[in-house]
């Protein structure tokens, strides 16, 4: 298999792994946390499960596979059913990125360990799969942190900011949401369009990937 073909296979494999593994785990954890805080909406909707079919959105999944940008079914959460709605919203906003970053660290460490334990093409394949999962988890986690509507970063700001911010957002919600969508598209594609010359989102993701890779420095000393 030549380099171009391998690159193409790894690209679509990574997108499939995002749909079949990362998104189900993320929704499962968030649904479980919501339930612990008093809201069983996700459980009643059958979303506290690792079954990918419960989380996949047809159009969002096609977008992910075709262009690498898409979505899963929104996780139903009712903050008003929680014991403390404001605290619950903040906890849920933190849970998403934190879960993804923990998955990223675990995957990167597993990849390094298996690289030393397995040999031949099997070892390389398994290493690549877990490395891809780790990088994807980092990427999605960073995107979730963005202070844009629909992202956990914005949810955090919304519930921690004062009434003036909340009122301003609701007065201009439609415009803000539309502008935010175009900003997200710009951040997602500008790196490819400029061939990496200007890629702020990519730079942030690379920084987090570097930090998480430092957690694997112990592996060679134990398994090398």
Higher model confidence: residue 102 or residue 2? 102
pLDDT given at position 10: 77
Given a cut of 80, whether residue 158 has pLDDT beyond it is yes
Given a cut of 90, whether residue 145 has pLDDT beyond it is yes
pLDDT given at position 223: 86
* Least confident window among 87-101, 113-127, 174-188: 113-127
Given a cut of 80, whether residue 6 has pLDDT beyond it is no
List pLDDT tens digits, range 25-72. 999 999 999 999 999 999 999 999 999 999 999 998 998 888 777 788
Mean of pLDDT over the chain: 91
pLDDT given at position 91: 96
Cα 33 from Cα 94, distance rounded (Å): 11
Task: List phi, psi (to 5°) of 2.
Answer: -75, 175
* Coil, strand or helix at 196: coil
């Amino acid at each position: 298999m030549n380099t171009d073909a391998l690159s193409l296979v790894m690209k679509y494999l990574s997108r499939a792994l995002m749909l079949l593994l990362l998104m189900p785990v993320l929704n499962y954890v968030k649904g479980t946390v919501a339930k612990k805080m008093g809201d069983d909406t996700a459980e009643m909707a059958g979303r506290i499960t690792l079954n990918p079919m419960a989380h996949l959105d047809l159009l969002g999944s096609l977008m992910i596979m075709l262009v690498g940008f898409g979505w899963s079914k929104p996780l139903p959460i009712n903050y008003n059913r929680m014991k403390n709605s404001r605290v619950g919203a903040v906890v849920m906003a933190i849970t998403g990125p934190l879960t993804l970053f923990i998955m990223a660290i675990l995957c990167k460490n597993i990849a390094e360990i298996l690289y030393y334990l397995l040999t031949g093409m099997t070892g390389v394949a398994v290493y690549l799969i877990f490395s891809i999962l780790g990088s994807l988890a980092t990427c999605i986690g960073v995107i979730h942190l963005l202070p844009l509507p629909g992202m956990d970063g914005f949810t955090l700001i919304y519930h921690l900011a004062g009434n003036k911010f909340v009122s301003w957002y609701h007065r201009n919600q439609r415009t803000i949401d539309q502008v935010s969508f175009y900003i997200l598209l710009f951040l997602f594609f500008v790196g490819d369009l400029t061939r990496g010359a200007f890629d702020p989102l990519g730079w942030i993701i690379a920084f987090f990937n570097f930090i998480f890779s430092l957690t694997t420095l112990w592996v060679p000393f134990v398994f090398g």
